[in-house]
Chain A
Amino acid sequence: MTRAIVVYLKSTAISHAMSMSPFLWPICEMLHFIGLALLIGGAGLMDLRLMGAFKSIPVSAVMQVRKWAALGVAINVVTGTLFFVGAPDQYINNPAWYGKLLFLLVAMINVAVFETTQGKKMLNVAGGEDTPVSFKVAGAVSMGSWFLVLYFGRMLPFLGNAF
């Protein structure tokens, strides 16, 4: 099954372009790290406020940086998919890759659950006000899982088959 997926992906034009071009892969790496910084900046500020830091900013105001985190995630999902299609055999049997995907999923579910159940409450936390425990938990889970996404991403060449 995984063999068939690898063979198919490697036969695609995108995969050929990623592995043959001397520039495409490095450019995607640069974009991937730019996305990483946008994500840490945007999500980090939001998470810190949810956890009770930067109290003087109303939560409704700090929510405005979420779009930068979302842009970072979007850039990295696109470039990450290009890496996978470009060299699927470097990832498909790599334990670090599964660790990365697992905590990416945890981070996404955390955002989805928090936004749907607590989204309206966020608008009511004014400047100077502390956050409820549910906010602190969501902020900590977000920060922890994004760190693990970064950790397992960086471990891709070390825990699995090196490249």
Chain B
Amino acid sequence: MTELLASIEASPFSTWLRESPSVWAYPTVLTLHTLGLGVLVGANWMVDLRVLGFARAIPLGVLARAFPIMWAGFWLNAATGALLFVADPTKATTTIFMWKLAIIAVGVALILLLKSKAYGRGVEMDRATAGVKAIAALSLAAWIAAIATGRWMAYVA
């Protein structure tokens, strides 16, 4: 495992991503990763907050269209996250990175759950059930934890 990570780190692409003075290398990847975070979490939080009872004038059904926006943010960050991994694979051995990945998996599972529970019946209710509200509250918290662990990686690795 360590050997594999070392060979990734020694590859020309990894070296370019990490050391190139070009703004198209590390800085652009990092900027897109931040943008993807904002789009994914921002769109998810707006739906979560609406489900929890804020901004009631917005019909819950319309917010089904926020889900493709979340997925766009997710895939942007899966791609840029993979590039950041290639640039600095030793970070992947830290415990905090494992926590971050696990928390993101929970956050993504909650998106799928929210979509199927709040929108799965064909007819959208304007008042969410207690169960759907619990999913939204967990989703809100999961992304706070994902952001916290992601930021923390900058200080431990």
A: which residues have CB within 8 A of B?
Answer: 26, 29-30, 33-34, 36-42, 44-45, 54, 56-58, 60-62, 64-65, 68, 147, 150-151, 154-155, 158
Contacts and interface: CB of A to CB of B under 8 A. Distances in A.
Given A37-B143, A150-B38, A26 B31 contact: no
Contacts of B125: none
B147 interface: yes
A54 B69 CA distance: 12
Contacts, number: 92
B39 A57 contact: no
Interface in B60-108: 62, 65-66
A33 B54 CA distance: 22
Nearest to A56: B62
9 shortest A-B CB distances, which residue pairs? A41-B42, A40-B38, A61-B57, A40-B42, A64-B55, A37-B41, A154-B31, A158-B27, A41-B46
A111 to B, nearest CB: 17
Contacts of A30: 147-148, 151-152
A39 B46 CA distance: 10
B147 A44 contact: no
8 contacts: A30-B147, A41-B44, A44-B38, A44-B39, A65-B46, A65-B58, A155-B31, A158-B23
Is the interface on chain B under 10, 10 to 19, 20 to 34, or 35 or more residues?
Answer: 35 or more
Interface in B30-58: 30-31, 34-35, 37-39, 41-46, 49, 54-58
A37 B38 CA distance: 4
Contacts of A65: 46, 55, 58
* Binding site secondary structure of chain B: helix
A154 B43 CA distance: 21
B151 A26 contact: yes
B154 interface: yes
Contacts of B27: 154-155, 158
B109 interface: no
A139 to B, nearest CB: 15
A21 to B, nearest CB: 12
Contacts of B143: 37
B6 interface: no
Given A39-B38, A41-B42, 5 more contacts: A37-B41, A60-B57, A62-B58, A65-B55, A154-B30
B59 interface: yes
B144 interface: yes
B58 A29 contact: no
A41 B58 contact: no
B155 A26 contact: yes
Given A30-B147, A36-B38, A37-B37, A151 B46 contact: no
Contact of A44 (B42, B58, B144): B42
A26 B152 contact: yes
